[in-house]
Structure 1
């Protein structure tokens, strides 16, 4: 049942990246501790890769860096880089310019916690989710990267 749901949503198990994507994560993003998820955002049948980097130098009081890599021939291009993001990270049911909107939690640093809806502008998603209008936390969509549970 779970496998069928993952395949239907085009979400692949975290931690299994294609070699070209793994190379971008290590050599371009310089990430070592991260969560990943894969989901098709533009309905081209190829999954974009979400990389939530948790290395100490990629995080601050507002959260950590989130990247979305989109397959581009034999390589990947960065279509989203935010610096103040917290999970849950969601693929929303709504779309802008043919790409699914992304929901991220914005909190910390004195900001009232809320979900920001990131819209694709035709080239990329916005880099600062705290400058994006808040979205209802119950907006339709699916969670790609879960919030970490507090002990």
Structure 2
């Protein structure tokens, strides 16, 4: 079964390795072609599989580009693998050993298959999994005159109210999952206008390694997404140190096989690192040396609820 999906911009990723996977008969795999909207660098897909169902999301990319893929799911036996162009059995990345987080430079041009499946034991029990798969492909090739690191406007207002921020977060994440957020305002770039740092938490936006942190800056058209940081835990702090004119951020990491600690994230002139558990993030970091923006919380429901997704 084949289909085609058109989806819009979003940002995300982790490190991969070459592993083998069990094959599946071609007729048992549903194939969906992912095409980004004009001007978009990424996409989000929400779907459900049951039992032995497998879905391949086919994404065309070029050698040397960076690919970032992450998946949130309500079933701990639900994973994705990535197969390079021309590969049927050998996976570039195996999500069951890497916490469903991939970030890497692509080795060749062609169609990459992001294969979503249930582990055999769960498939035999005919379990179901509801998942949210996020993909981004970036650089080095860009249209003439395009600005590196440009991001889409996330909200239509510059007032910085909770309602504006809630809409910006929902637009960034997509979907209509139950989620809450914890936010703080701090001037990161020294221009006298505070940016917004928000940690989003909920069953379908967090994984075993943590939750996403979003950084927005005000713009004439509204809140603009600067960075999305994956697998983070509270507390989140801001450092007195700066990189490229922006103050460093410090996030707590741990869980999902990740050693507990903290990591310092330096702005590279365009964004903060997506994955705080691998370089260029700096670990360990001195969390106590920073100013806490988002303290620890007991439950995601302690945060502010995200508004429902806007009707199409």
TM-score range, shorter chain: 0.7 to 0.9
Answer yes or no: is 1:56 the counterpart of 2:203: yes
C-alpha RMSD of matched pairs (Å): 2.0
CA contact (8 A) 2:252 2:261 kept: yes
Return the offset for 1:28: 3.0
TM-score, structure 2 normalization: 0.40
User: Could you tell me which residue of structure 2 aligns to residue 47 of structure 1?
Assistant: 194
Aligned to 1:105: 252
Return the alpha-carbon distance in structure 2 between the equivalents of residues 126 and 136 of structure 1: 15
Distance 1:90 1:52 in 2: 12
2:173 matched residue in structure 1: 29
CA distance in 2, matches of 1:81, 1:60: 15
TM-score by length of 1: 0.80
In structure 1, runs of 5+ residues without a counterpart are 1-15
1: CA distance, partners of 2:168 / 2:265? 23
What is residue 46 of structure 2 aligned with on the other side? none
- Report matched runs for 1:2-21 at 5 Å: 17=161, 19-21=163-165
Taking structure 1 as reference, are residues 41 and 145 closer, same or farther at Cα in structure 2, changes over 3 Å only?
same
| Contact map agreement 1:20 1:74 (CA 8 A) in 2 | no
TM-superposed CA distance for 1:55, in Å, is: 2.0
Number of the residue aligned with 1:134: 283
Partner of 2:295: 146
Mapped partners of 1:28, 1:137: distance in 2: 30
Structure 2: stretches of 5+ with no match in the other structure? 1-159, 300-312
| Distance in 1 (alpha carbons) for counterparts of 2:287 and 2:229 | 22
Deviations 1:48-89 (A, max 9, x none): 111111121110100111101111223122222122000110
The 1:138–1:89 alpha-carbon spacing in structure 2 relative to 1, beyond 3 Å, is closer
Q: Following the alignment from structure 1 to structure 2, what is the Cα–Cα distance between the partners of residues 58 and 17?
A: 23
- 1:92-127 C-alpha deviation (Å, 9 max, x unpaired): 000000000000001001121111100000011010
Query: Which secondary structure state, in structure 1, belongs to the residue aligned with residue 204 of structure 2?
Result: helix
State the SS of the aligned residue for 1:59. Answer: coil
User: Is the contact between residue 207 and residue 231 of structure 2 (CA under 8 Å) also seen in structure 1?
Assistant: yes
